[in-house]
Amino acid sequence: MFHATTILGYKAEGKAVIGGDGQVSFGDTVLKGNATKIRKLGKEGEVLAGFAGSTADAFNLFDMFETILAEKKGDLFKSVIGFSKMWRKDKHLRQLEAMMIVLNKEHIFILTGTGDVVEPEDGKIAAIGSGGNYAIAAARALDRHASLEPKDLVQKSLEIAGDVCIYTNKNIKLLEL
C-alpha cells in the first residue's frame, strides 16, 4: 500500500462512482491538501480512474491507459488486459510506483504496480492507498446496512477513512457515471 491517499471505487444500481481525498504527503508532512487524483478517461468519459502512489508515475499510467482504452474502442475489460501485458513487458513500467482503480458501469478493476489486474471479489467495491482498507470497510458496511445512493456511499466511506487515516483528508472529490 502507498501512503498519501485514499481512492474508493463503487458500482451499483447501474451507476459507477469513484472518489478520492486531496492529501499529498511527503513522509510525515502534508504537501498539498486539495490534489485531484481521479479522472474520467476515454473519448466520451466512459471510464473512471483514480491513482495512489507517485504522482508523476500515475500521470504516465493515466496517459498510457487512456491510449490503450482508445485502441480498444472503450472496452474496459480488453483495455486492462492490454495494459497489464504492456506493463509486464516494459522494464521502465515495472519500476513505476503507483496503483490505479478503473471502472465503468459494468466492471471494476485494480491495476497494481507489478502489472496485476485484480477484480474485487464482490465485483463492486475497490479501494487503494493508505486509507483504502478503512474506506473499503466503511463502504462494505454501508452497502449492507444503509440505503444510500452510490455517490453518497462513496462520500461517507471516504469521510470515515479521513477520520482514521493520517494520510487521508476530507477534501473529497467524486466522479460519477
Residues classed as catalytic? 5
Distance CA 139, CA 108 (A): 15
Q: 101 Cβ partners below 8 Å, 6+ apart?
A: 7, 8, 9, 18, 49, 50, 51, 108, 109, 110, 111, 126, 127, 128
Task: Report which residue type is found at 173.
Answer: K
Q: Quick one: three-class SS letters along 61-96?
A: HHHHHHHHHHHCCCCHHHHHHHHHHHHHHCCCHHHC
> If DSSP codes are grouped into helix, strand and coil, which group holds residue 1?
coil
Q: 15-20 and 24-26: which strand pairing?
A: unpaired
Distance CA 174, CA 8 (A): 10
Distance CA 66, CA 176 (A): 18
